[in-house]
């Protein structure tokens, strides 16, 4: 965390002058200088860092220039939206990647499996913002296809089948949020909230889904080659039992490790998704903080995201110990 | 029982009174701007967003009409008492959102606060005081004759003095203007305007509701509730309109103009704007720019019409001067003078036939297509053998460079806060003088005391015809001298659904008068 804070602090010089966003064009140089002095921007980097670190140890990461509130409060207000997005995307990934991955491993030659693998290769190479824009065009605005002759029955049918009406919400979280606790207003409990979640979650999931499908497939295929599976087959266990009980369990071990790390990465990817969908989460907030040179907020965001990485990785290690009995946590009795 | 019934009827009558007034206002408007107001304190920052908010929740003394005339708002009438004094009559019976009634003490309070505001005090510098005659009459006094008194009065949006006076529970002054940090005024507001702020989540959404006791009963506006969502990403903003998520968006990016025109449910409104985009040529850094012939050569080499047509896709009006049409200084005879042959000829005469190398700087996210404009200009200069070393920067990094004048040619856009020509000269072409703020953005270090003196003379001339002649002469002389390279005035664009009649409420200042908006 110390390293993150130093790095975050060091880059601020390259970010430009926060004053430009705070004052109008016609404010005189003297006034600007006075304000700069007031904000402590004229002190040397070391002095600024020590002042920041001193407060940070007491849990005070400073005030955002733009919001005029403590940065942690600002982040707390924006974090729930991002977490919901990540949770939604993770659900989609979990529900789709496991069945598809397993299927592709068991029947690698099947036509459908090849189709899934092909799509996932394409999916992994399309940037997330492009996916998002295409989704908005198709499902929010709607497209009208007139490629086929309108006067023939089949042409009309094809046109109709390829056209969409749109109507899905394309920005924000909607009006119908339910208050859970603290700063958390959730979109999971109303139809409108869920509708708003669909497109952003799908586009966020699109970048990770292919990765997980391929990972699960590869792991599963490797496990299926191993000796204990062959013994199980020889023993005459049903193939369903072998595949889903014995093989899947071992397949999931590395997947959990990767998954844990990827949740952190996903928080980073939300920056793109949130920008396209105007999703009021921390990613969008961070991007705007950069354009405004809102340095305290940038530093605080980097520290919070760093913390999330540390926590998820620790959790993954702990969960791993539970799933895999061969891993022993030091200090625990054998 | 009778008592109860009477009480019931009484309360019914009470309750129905405001309902009857606002009965016409029933519509809901969802709109998306690229940003939401930074604060609710309209004196904290002087920016387009804050002025847009001012026109929603407050009312100015006078406001601009579409054709740059003045329209009485809270000031019913005005008359000049003497050269330095203007007497205003305040509208009677105007209520603030808090229920307080507007009187001259609120105007005085507002005036004093504007004089304190870091961002606004420069505009109010010519004013020396305010005289309160009675509850509804006051005089604004300037130290010298001031032709732009009414222009400046468009910035006086009376604040509710009672609401903003006193201390908050934790002992802070309610009226304090705080640039950073939370003040009472940055989170609470009480004005006389058509819309009250009912909820605000900064950067996410803002809700307004029509003020039931709004004084202007002749306003045709019928919108009861406005939901403002900031959508920064251009594409997303346009998508939100096309998908029906919002009813009104601004600004419309030039790349999407056609897309909106094609859409049968949407309507597009464009206007030639008043923000000039220009290049300065720094004479202190480049010896050659001291020679007027070289500056003229540059002026002849740049193809304004080409840039407006190709890069701006027709979404700009090519410029040969600072003042846009409608301003007093606008000189009709000045036209863009693109002529490469002539430019080469001038370079030769100046003894720079072989050219020289300069650096050029431009922002890349401040004005529409700013970086592309700079690239095009660099390519055009190559044809008269001026080699350009171009650097484009994000605005947060660009402005510190601009303040240091660290490029030989630098791009800037300027909008005159006063909607008057003199403002352009004072900031962009005056001899730089550190103390007074004159020439603060004159990154060319161009200096012609004669022109400055002429502008200064115009600034105290209250005879419009005389003043117009002076300002037009200034434009002519700046043009002949090629003091800078004007490029174009950036156009403005808004778009809405067909049933939202935005056209009548829009203006070149980009303050949509949403109070008068009609939704069918």
Label each residue of B277-297 as H, E or C: EEEEECCCCCHHHHCHHHHHH
DSSP A63: B
Instruction: Output DSSP code: residue B193.
Output: S
Write down the pLDDT at residue B20: 38
Q: What is the pLDDT of residue A56?
A: 76
Average pLDDT score, chain B: 89
Please state the φ and ψ torsions of residue B437, each to the nearest 5 degrees. 85, 0
Confidence of residue B8 (pLDDT cuts 50, 70, 90): very low
Res B266: pLDDT = 92
Give the phi and the psi of residue A190 in degrees, each rounded to 5. Answer: -140, 155
Task: Tell me the pLDDT band of B517, cut-offs 50, 70 and 90.
Answer: very high
Structure tokens belonging to residue A227: 């000796």
Phi (first) and psi of residue B17, to 5 degrees: -60, -55
Beta-carbon separation of B201 and A67 below 8 A: no
Min Cα distance B482 → chain A (Å) is: 24
pLDDT at A332 over 60: no
Number of H helices, E strands in chain A: 14, 2
Please state, in angstroms and rounded to a whole number, the distance separating the CA atoms of residues B29 and B20. 21
Residue B441, phi then psi, degrees to nearest 5: -110, 20
Q: How far apart are CA A30 and CA B440, in angstroms?
A: 11
In this complex, do A31 and B243 lie within 8 Å of one another by their Cβ atoms? no
Question: Which of A25, A77, A171 is opposite residue B240, by nearest beta carbon?
Answer: A171
Q: What are phi and psi of A101, to 5 degrees?
A: -60, -45
B442 neighbourhood in chain A, CB within 8 Å? none
- How many other CB atoms are there within 10 angstroms of residue B349's CB atom? 14
* Cα separation, B186 vs B192, whole angstroms: 17
Do B158 and B192 contact (CB within 8 A), yes or no? yes
Among candidates B122, B186, B239 on the partner chain, residue whose Cβ is nearest the Cβ of A27: B122
CB contact under 8 A, B400 and A20: yes
- The verdict on a CB contact (< 8 Å) between B242 and A14 is no
Contact: A29, B45; criterion CB under 8 Å: no
Q: How far is CA A222 from CA A225, A247, A257, in A?
A: 5, 10, 17
Nearest to A291 by CA among B443, B240, B279, B398: B398
Grade residue B155 by pLDDT with cuts at 50, 70 and 90.
very high
Q: How many CB atoms lie within 10 A of CB B135?
A: 13
8 Å CB contact of A23 and B119? yes
Residues of B within 8 A of A15 (CB-CB) are 396-397
Q: Which residue has the higher pLDDT, A332 or A46?
A: A46
Question: How far apart (Å, rounded) are the C-alpha atoms in residues A112 and B251?
Answer: 47
Check whether A202 has a pLDDT greater than 80.
yes
3-state secondary structure of B270: strand
- Shortest CA gap B341–chain A (Å): 38
- Residues of A within 8 A of B394 (CB-CB) are 16, 291
A196 and A173 in contact (C-beta within 8 Å)? yes
Q: How many angstroms away from the CA of B221 is the closest CA of chain A?
A: 24
Residue of B nearest to A138 (CA): B243
Contact B367, B393 (CB under 8 A): no
Most confident of A125-134, A279-288, B114-123, B146-155: B146-155
First to last CA, chain A: 33
Inform me whether the pLDDT recorded for A94 exceeds 60. Answer: yes
**Shortest CA distance from B364: residue in chain A:** A291
Q: Say whether B14 sits in a helix, a strand or coil.
A: helix
pLDDT greater than 80 at residue A164: no
CB distance B119–A168 less than 8 Å?
A: no
Cis peptide before B398 (omega within 30 of 0): no
Rounded to whole angstroms, the Cα distance separating B204 from A280 reads: 6
Residue B2 has pLDDT above 70, yes or no: no
Q: Quick one: average pLDDT of B262-266?
A: 89
Tell me if B398 and A16 make a contact (CB, 8 A cut-off). Answer: yes
Contact (CB, 8 A) for A258 and A90: no
| β partners of residue B392 | B362
- The single residue listed with the structure tokens 């924000």 is A172
Tell me the sheet residues that pair with B267: B496
**Residue of A15, A68, A276 with shortest CB distance to B236:** A276
Does the pLDDT at position A124 exceed 60? yes
**Span B419-429, average pLDDT:** 92
Chain B residues with beta carbon closer than 8 angstroms to that of A169: 243, 245
Residue of A nearest to B227 (CA): A175
More confident residue, B20 or A155: A155
Residue showing tokens 């693998």: A117
Q: Quickly state the pLDDT bin for A330 (edges 50, 70, 90).
A: low
Residue B346: band (very low, low, confident or very high) from pLDDT cuts 50, 70, 90 = very high
Query: Cβ–Cβ of A171/B440 closer than 8 Å?
Result: no
Mean pLDDT of chain A: 80
Q: Which two tokens stand for residue B74?
A: 């809270």
Of A22, A23, A67, the CB nearest to B202: A67
- The residue-averaged pLDDT of A53-81 equals 83
The DSSP letter of residue B405 is T
What's the pLDDT at A328? Answer: 62
3-state secondary structure of B393: strand
More confident residue, B19 or B35: B35
- Does residue A218 have a pLDDT over 50? yes
**Which chain B residues touch A141 with a CB distance below 8 Å?**
239, 242-243
Average pLDDT over residues B252-256: 86
> Counting beta carbons within 10 angstroms of the beta carbon of residue A250, is it exposed (0 to 12), middle (13 to 18) or buried (19 or more)?
middle
Kindly determine whether residue B244 and residue A167, on different chains, have CB atoms separated by under 8 Å. yes
* Per-residue pLDDT tens digits for B203-230: 888 999 999 999 999 999 999 999 999 9
CA B484 to chain centroid, in Å, comes to: 22
**Percent of chain B whose pLDDT exceeds 70:** 95
CA distance B512 to B516: 9
How near does any CA of chain B get to the CA of A45, in Å?
A: 18
d(CA B203, CA A65): 14
Q: Which of B119, B122, B204 sits opposite A280 (nearest CB)?
A: B204
Query: For residue A172, which residues of chain B lie inside 8 Å, CB to CB?
Result: 204-205, 229, 245
Name the residue among B449, B471, B451 with its Cα closest to residue B461: B471
On chain B, the residues whose CB falls within 8 A of the CB of A18 are 396
Q: Give the separation between CA B291 and CA A108, rounded to whole angstroms.
A: 77
Of B123, B132, B183, B133, the residue nearest B156 (C-alpha): B123
* pLDDT higher at A326 or B114: B114
Residues of chain B positioned with their CB less than 8 A from the CB of A285: 203
> How close B429 gets to chain A, by Cα (Å)?
14
Please report the pLDDT score of residue A303 as a whole number. 85
- Can you give the pLDDT at residue B516? 93
Residues 6+ apart with CB under 8 A from A38: none
According to DSSP, the β-strands at B27-33 and B248-250 are: parallel
Q: What is the largest CA-CA distance in chain A?
A: 87
Which of B74, B50, B164 lies closest to A23 in space, CA to CA?
Answer: B50
Chain A residue closest in CA terms to B424? A26
Instruction: Provide the pLDDT for residue A14.
Output: 63
User: Closest Cα of chain B to A9: distance in Å?
Assistant: 17
Set of chain B residues whose Cβ sits within 8 Å of the Cβ of A280: 201, 203-205
A vs B, Cβ pairs < 8 A, gives 140
Q: What pLDDT score does B61 carry?
A: 96
Chain-centroid distance of CA B127 in Å reads: 21
User: Residue A271: pLDDT above 80?
Assistant: yes
* Residue A21: per-residue pLDDT: 66
Average pLDDT over residues A170-178: 74
Q: How far apart are CA A190 and CA A123, in angstroms?
A: 30
pLDDT value at position A61? 79
Taking the C-alpha atoms of residue A139 and residue B242, their distance in angstroms, rounded to an integer, is 12
Distance CA B126, CA B144 (A): 7
CA distance A286 to A297: 8
Question: Which of A24, A133, A136 shows the shortest C-beta gap to B47?
Answer: A24
**Average pLDDT for B310-328:** 92
Lowest mean pLDDT among B66-70, B128-132, B494-498: B66-70
CA B219 from chain center: how many Å?
24
Q: Which of A307, A258, A295 is nearest to A79 (CA)?
A: A307
Distance (Å, whole) CA B272 – CA B491: 4
In tens, the pLDDT along B156-180 reads 999 999 999 988 888 888 888 887 6
Does the structure show a pLDDT above 90 at B17?
A: no
Which value does ipTM take for this structure?
0.75
Q: Assess whether pLDDT exceeds 90 at residue A333.
A: no
Partner-chain contact A26 B398, CB within 8 Å: no
Most confident of A86-95, B249-258, B294-303: B294-303
Tokens representing A205 are 């999931």
Strands B248-250 and B485-497: antiparallel
Chain centroid to Cα A316, Å, comes to 17
Average pLDDT over residues B496-508: 93
Contact at 8 Å (CB) between B74 and B59? Answer: yes
**pLDDT of res. A207:** 81
H/E element, A35 = helix A29-39
Q: Are A187 and A193 in contact (CB under 8 A)?
A: yes
C-alpha separations of A12 from A17, A300, B362 in Å: 9, 12, 21
Helix (H, G, I), strand (E, B) or coil at B408: coil
Residue B252's alpha-carbon distances to A91, A168, A280, in angstroms, are 36, 22, 21
Higher-scoring residue by pLDDT: B361, A139 = B361
Indicate yes or no: CB of B231 within 8 angstroms of CB of A278: yes
With CA atoms as reference, the chain A residue closest to B413 would be: A25
pLDDT at position A13, please?
A: 64
3-state DSSP helix/strand/coil percent for chain B, to nearest 5?
35, 25, 45
């Amino acid at each position: 965390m110390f390293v993150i804070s130093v790095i975050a602090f060091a880059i601020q010089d390259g970010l430009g002058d926060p004053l430009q966003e705070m004052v109008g064009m016609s404010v005189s140089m003297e006034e600007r200088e006075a304000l700069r002095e007031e904000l402590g921007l004229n002190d040397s980097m070391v002095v600024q860092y020590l002042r920041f670190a001193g407060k940070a140890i007491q849990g005070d990461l400073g005030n955002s220039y733009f919001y005029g509130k403590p940065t942690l409060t600002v982040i707390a207000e924006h974090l729930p939206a991002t977490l919901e997005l990540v949770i939604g995307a993770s659900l989609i990934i979990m529900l789709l990647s496991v069945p598809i991955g397993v299927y592709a491993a068991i029947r690698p030659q099947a036509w459908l499996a090849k189709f899934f693998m092909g799509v996932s290769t394409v999916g992994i190479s399309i940037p997330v913002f492009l996916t998002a824009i295409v989704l908005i065009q198709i499902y929010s605005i709607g497209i009208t296809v007139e490629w086929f002759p309108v006067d023939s029955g089949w042409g009309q049918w094809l046109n109709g089948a390829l056209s969409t009406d749109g109507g899905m919400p394309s920005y924000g979280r909607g009006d119908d949020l339910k208050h859970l606790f603290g700063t958390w207003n959730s979109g999971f409990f109303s139809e409108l909230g869920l509708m708003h979640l669909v497109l952003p979650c799908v586009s966020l999931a699109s970048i990770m889904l292919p990765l997980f499908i391929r990972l699960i497939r590869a792991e599963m295929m490797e496990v299926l080659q191993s000796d204990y599976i062959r013994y199980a087959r020889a023993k005459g266990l049903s193939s369903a039992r072998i595949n889903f009980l014995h093989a899947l369990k071992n397949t999931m071990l590395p997947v959990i490790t990767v998954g844990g790390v990827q949740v952190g990465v996903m928080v980073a990817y939300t920056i793109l998704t949130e920008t396209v969908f105007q999703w009021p989460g921390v990613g969008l907030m961070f991007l705007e903080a950069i354009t405004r040179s809102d340095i305290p907020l940038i530093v605080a965001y980097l520290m919070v995201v760093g913390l999330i990485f540390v926590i998820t990785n620790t959790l993954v290690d702990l969960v791993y110990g539970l799933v895999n009995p061969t891993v022993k946590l030091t200090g625990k009795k054998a | 029982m009778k008592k109860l019934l009477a009480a019931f009827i009484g309360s019914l009558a009470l309750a129905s009174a405001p309902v009857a007034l606002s009965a016409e206002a029933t519509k809901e408007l969802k709109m998306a701007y690229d940003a939401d107001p930074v604060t609710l304190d309209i004196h904290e920052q002087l920016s387009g967003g804050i002025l847009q908010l001012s026109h929603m929740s407050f009312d100015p003394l006078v406001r601009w009409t579409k054709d740059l005339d003045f329209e009485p708002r809270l000031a019913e009438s005005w008359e000049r008492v003497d050269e330095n004094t203007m007497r205003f009559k305040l509208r009677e019976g105007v209520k603030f959102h808090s229920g307080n009634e507007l009187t001259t003490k609120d105007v005085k309070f507002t005036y004093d606060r504007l004089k304190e505001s870091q961002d606004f005090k420069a505009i109010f510098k010519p004013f020396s005081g305010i005289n309160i005659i009675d509850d509804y009459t006051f005089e604004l006094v300037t130290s010298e004759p001031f032709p732009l008194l009414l222009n400046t009065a468009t910035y006086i949006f009376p604040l509710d003095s009672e609401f903003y006076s006193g201390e908050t529970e934790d002992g802070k002054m309610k009226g304090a203007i705080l640039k950073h940090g939370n003040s009472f005024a940055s989170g609470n507001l009480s004005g006389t305007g058509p819309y009250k702020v009912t909820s605000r989540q900064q950067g996410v959404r803002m809700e307004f509701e029509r003020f039931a006791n709004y004084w202007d009963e002749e306003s045709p506006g019928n919108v009861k509730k406005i939901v403002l969502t900031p959508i920064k990403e251009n594409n997303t903003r346009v998508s939100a309109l096309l998908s029906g998520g919002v009813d009104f968006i601004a600004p419309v990016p030039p790349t999407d103009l056609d897309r909106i025109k094609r859409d049968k449910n949407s309507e597009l409104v464009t206007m030639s704007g008043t923000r000039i985009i220009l290049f300065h040529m720094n004479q202190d850094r480049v010896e050659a720019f001291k020679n007027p012939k070289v500056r003229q050569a540059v002026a002849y080499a740049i193809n304004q019409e080409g840039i407006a047509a190709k890069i701006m896709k027709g979404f700009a009006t090519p410029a040969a001067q600072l003042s846009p049409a409608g301003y007093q200084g606008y000189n009709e005879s000045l036209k863009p003078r693109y002529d490469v042959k002539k430019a080469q000829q001038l370079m030769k005469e100046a003894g720079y036939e072989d050219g020289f190398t300069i650096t050029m700087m431009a922002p890349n996210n401040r004005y529409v297509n700013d970086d592309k404009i700079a690239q095009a200009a660099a390519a055009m200069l190559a044809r008269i053998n001026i080699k350009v070393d171009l650097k484009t920067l994000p605005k947060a990094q660009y402005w510190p460079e601009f303040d240091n004048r660290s490029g030989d040619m630098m791009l800037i856009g300027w909008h005159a806060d006063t909607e008057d020509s003199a403002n352009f000269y004072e900031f962009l072409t005056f001899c730089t003088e550190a103390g007074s703020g004159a020439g603060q953005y004159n990154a060319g270090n161009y200096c012609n005391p004669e022109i400055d003196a002429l502008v200064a003379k115009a600034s105290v001339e209250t005879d419009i015809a005389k003043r117009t002649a002076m300002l037009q002469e200034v434009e002519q002389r700046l043009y002949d001298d090629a003091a800078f390279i004007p490029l174009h005035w950036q156009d403005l664009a808004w778009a809405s659904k067909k049933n939202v009649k935005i056209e009548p409420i829009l203006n070149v200042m980009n303050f949509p008068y949403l109070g008068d908006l009609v939704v069918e």
